[in-house]
Amino acid sequence: MLEYRAGASTHALAERYSVRRATVRDVLRREGIDPAERAHRSKFTPELKVELCERFAAGATRPELAILYDVSESTIKRMLRQVDLPSSGADATEG
């Protein structure tokens, strides 16, 4: 579980080892690591949120941003929603 201690997310570990995130959490618990301690800390500082929004406004897509920031597309969508930016080009043109 060195990877987790080094900062890898349960999502990234599950993808890497082709298992469910619940399996990763179970293994962590067996090793005496509580994944819930880290679960609610956002990696998005206010500065990173600004950077994310700037990249999106400049044309980066949600999938590109998800890869760049090592998070899911739904996280990117949620971050954009928190700052009242439409999360896709289609949203921006509707209305």
Its pTM stands at 0.49
CA distances from 71 to 25, 65, 74 (A): 17, 8, 8
19-48 pLDDT, tens digit each: 999 999 999 999 998 888 776 666 778 888
71-80 pLDDT, tens digit each: 889 989 988 8
Is 9's pLDDT higher than 50?
Answer: yes
Structure tokens at 22: 């619940």
| pLDDT at residue 64, rounded to an integer | 95
